[in-house]
Amino acid sequence: MLSVSPDPVVEDADESPYAVRVEDLSITYKTTFERKPTLKQALVRFGRGERKVHTVEALKNVSFDIRVGTAMGIIGSNGAGKSTLMRAMAGILPPTSGNVEVWGRASTLLALGVGFNKALSGRENIVLGGLAAGLSRREVEERVEEIAEWTELGEFIDMPMNTYSSGMAARVGFSVAVHMRPDILMIDEALSTGDAHFREKASAKMAELRDSARAMFLISHGLGSISEMCNDCIWLDKGRLMMRGSPEEVIDAYMTYVKVKKSPTTTEEM
């Protein structure tokens, strides 16, 4: 019988050839919505709608293990369970059943800018982000100037983030995460941020991290990015693991499944 862990079990990274192991992972949650009432129902309930509970099986018995040196791409349509899987591996979502084991410290780019205090400056949020990632005050102070310069925001880095565009805020979030020197890096749709110059710079940084981290996970609708940056790939559909293999094999199978022909346009954004 598998042990069920409410949080990923973080092991000594030096003692295992693995970075992550997922065993029979299932995540089910409930959400509520208000059904629009008919005129008769509205009169009976004084205009109030009827709240319904909907059960979502986000992941269904997903199992795989990731060895050190793997750059894993995760693909699938919207609602496939990709972000749910990433959040489970990061310890943000507890499993309903199954087990997640993680060897090493993970840094996540799951939603760029989430958790920032928009009343504070970009530089101050860099400090907050570093502390939240588990760095000491000294470690943060050693890196804050480097990170601030890497954002290429100039004088805006010392302005309140509530004056930033979404792209500027994303730059700060991306820059903080990639400078945490993690054992395991998890990225959810981060490479599309910024202009062409910054995207190229971000891709180069990702390649550097891929070579130095124990493992990297990348979720992207840009299948070209998956093919270019990953050496392994899984495809999820409606919470189930459909296939694992080389990025080229899995992407071809996925595109056949969704009945889309391969082209520069479709592999760039699907």
pLDDT confidence of residue 31:
78
Separation CA 141–CA 118 (nearest Å): 20
How high is the pLDDT of residue 65?
96
What is the mean pLDDT for each group of 10 consecutive residues in the chain (270 residues)?
44 75 94 66 60 85 95 94 92 92 78 73 91 83 93 96 88 83 78 70 81 87 87 97 97 92 60
Q: What is the gyration radius of the CA atoms in the chain, in angstroms?
A: 21
Q: What is the mean pLDDT of the chain?
A: 83
- pLDDT at position 260, please? 78
Six token digits for residue 260? 């889309």
pLDDT at 2: 32
pLDDT at site 6: 44
C-alpha distances out from residue 191 to 30, 66, 128, 230, 239, Å: 31, 22, 22, 13, 24
Architecture of the domain delimited by 70-93+104-268: 3-Layer(aba) Sandwich (3.40)
b/e code 184-204 from CB counts within 10 Å (16+ = b): bbbbbbbbebbeeebeebbee
Q: What is the pTM of this model?
A: 0.75
What pLDDT was estimated at residue 209? 79
What is the separation of C-alpha 167 from the centre of its chain, rounded to a whole number of angstroms? 17
Bridging pattern class, strands 97-103 and 18-35: antiparallel
Domain boundaries, the chain: 70-93+104-268
In this predicted structure, what is the pLDDT of residue 3? 36
Check: CB of residue 77 under 8 Å from CB of residue 235. no
Burial class, 80, CB count within 10 angstroms (exposed 0-12 / middle 13-18 / buried 19+): buried
Would you tell me how many other CB atoms lie within 10 Å of the CB of residue 139?
15
Which residues are within 8 A (CB) of 113 and not within 5 positions of it... i.e. 6 or more apart?
A: 161, 166, 169, 170, 172, 173
Element (H, E) at 56: strand 50-67
Token output for 8: 């990923």
Non-local (6+) Cβ contacts of 136 within 8 A are none
The DSSP call for residue 228 is H
